[in-house]
Amino acid sequence: MKTKLRRLDSGAGLCLVGGNVSAVEVFAPAKLNLFLAVTGRRPDGFHDLVSVAAPLTIGDTLRAEPAAEFALACDDPAVPTDGSNLVLKAAQAFAAATGWTGAARFELRKTIPMGAGLGGGSSDAVAALRALNRLAGPAYALGPERLAAVAAQLGSDCPLFLADGPVAMRGRGERIEALPAAAAARLRGRRVLVFKPDFGIATPWAYGRLAAGAPGSYLPAEAAETRLAGWLANPAAPAEELLFNNMEPPAFAKFVALPVLLENLRRDFGLAPRMSGSGSACFALLGDDGAAAPIVAAVRAAWGPSAYAAEARLA
């Protein structure tokens, strides 16, 4: 008899057959960069940053079950399912880190749009690590520190998806610190509308444009830390006062549809919309009693009926 167990700590559902794990299903949340200050380019080619990121209640779902070899299927034909996908890279990294000789077949149900700055690929990779940590069994399971180290090898923003809440990110994104409880409480549960045009922005292009920009494109680390510390220290400061992203100017200079719509939303709805990460997805924090439908209508009037729009909450 098959029994399904729900693991609330990791968002993983386990199916057991005869006491053995036969399948694991993991939720892979999208994320928003509420505060993103890119402070400079490092000698290794990466960029240093100071950021506050929060997971969302919307995301992808990844199912894993034992198989003879690692394989991936996805319900979105635009998503590559070969070795270039971070899910399979995560699986290989898990096997290398643990010595596990098993394998799994993954099924990915996509909700997070690609090229959006919402962390979909990174979240899927961490979901794969979490799934394999269950599927491989206690003898091979990685503890929190080793799991974070493997996640950091896969991508700069992968470790944030292990935190299950709002975090401050530093370094190239691999240094993660949970926000103080009082500050996190100002973010958790906030209603948000996420919207994206039918084009994406490649992260390497965005950082390249930032590096090639005019002097002052980067926000010095001291200034970034001062801004963040000021918000953290003020218990009356709402989430809207935290919002910042110095990756917007290079994106807005090329993709003019982004700033035009955001300005219209400020004027017509009194919102404080921003771009998330390197884009092209944008977001606006909403009040609990305001209707989202007129805002969605404005987004699609500006960007066309194919524009992505989804309501969620900060987790």
Residues marked as catalytic: 31, 157
- To which H or E segment does residue 118 belong? none
Phi and psi (nearest 5°) for 186?
Answer: -75, -15
Q: How far apart (Å, rounded) are the C-alpha atoms in residues 167 and 184?
A: 8
Q: Which residues contact 30 (CB under 8 A, 6 or more apart)?
A: 55, 56, 58, 59, 60, 111, 112, 118, 119, 120, 123, 194, 312
Q: How far apart (Å, rounded) are the C-alpha atoms in residues 169 and 228?
A: 11
Concatenate the DSSP letters of all residues of 39-88 into one string: EEE-TTS-EEEEEEEEEEEEEEEEEEEE-SS-EEEES-TTS--STTSHHH
Identify the three-state secondary structure at position 166.
Answer: coil
Contacts 24+ apart (CB under 8 A), 262-268: 264/298, 264/302, 265/295, 265/298, 268/298
